[in-house]
Amino acid sequence: MFRLQGSKVLAVDMTGDAVKAKNGSMVAYDGQMAFKKLSGGGEGLRGMVTRRLTGEQMTVMEVKGHGTCWFADRASEINLVGLRGDKLYVEAGNLLATDGGLRTGTTFTGLRGASQGNGLFTTTVEGHGQAAIISDGPAVVLRVSPQYPLIVDPGAYVAHQGDVRQSLQSGVTFRTLLGEGGGEAFQIRFEGDGLVYVQPSERNTIAGDL
């Protein structure tokens, strides 16, 4: 069971089940806990090759035991996401913890990923259970519906879930090339039906400099 203690600490009550969490994010626990390192990108040999190739190697640990375990990461805000069979797309660095039963994998994002400033690949979480994602500042959850597409700054994008198509949209004009850009040269456009998590802070991206 995931619950938030304040906005920056995640408390997980465990009764013998397992939880996957970012390496080194445990701040305290009571009862009996065992920590074991896992590696992201799927299991087995295929997972290992994927990790090597994609660089999306989230270092994950598996926490197993009886008691309560508290997680936090550099005072970042934590958001709980409930998954009911759908897929959550999130940057590996923004994923704090997932239920042991959820599957994690890696997908190719193409140019969009490069514009976000975090590589060509992203992490997916799939199944039934809860996940905790972290953001710099409290994240807002924005709904995307077929009538209302959503456009997000790549640097402020944290995660999305649901049946959503995304495309990169550029606002590059001759002014940008002259160095007179407004700092919003690229945006990600979300269409379809789902939720997008946006943080009130921007990572450094190529788009932000233009």
Rounded CA separation 180/35 (Å): 51
CA nearest to 33, candidates 46, 47, 19 = 19
Nearer to another protein, 78 or 159 (CB): 78
Closest CB 104 distance from another protein, rounded Å:
16
What span, in angstroms and rounded, lies between the C-alpha atoms of 2 and 178?
Answer: 50
For residue 61, state whether it binds another protein (rule: CB under 8 A). Answer: yes
**CA within 13 Å, CB half, 172:** 11
Q: Which of the stretches 33-41, 95-103, 125-133, 192-200 binds another protein when contact is defined by CB under 8 A? A: 33-41
68 touches 12 (CB < 8 A): yes
Rule CB under 8 A: is residue 182 a binding residue for another protein?
no
CA dist., res. 3 & res. 7, Å (int): 10
- 10/150 with CB nearer another protein: 10
| CB of residue 116 to another protein, shortest distance in Å | 25
Among 12, 14, 19, 26, binds another protein (CB under 8 A): 26
CA 24/CA 88 separation, integer angstroms: 23
Q: Residue 140 interacts with another protein (CB under 8 A)?
A: no
Per CB under 8 A, residues contacting another protein are 5-6, 8-9, 23-31, 33-37, 59, 61-62, 70, 72-75
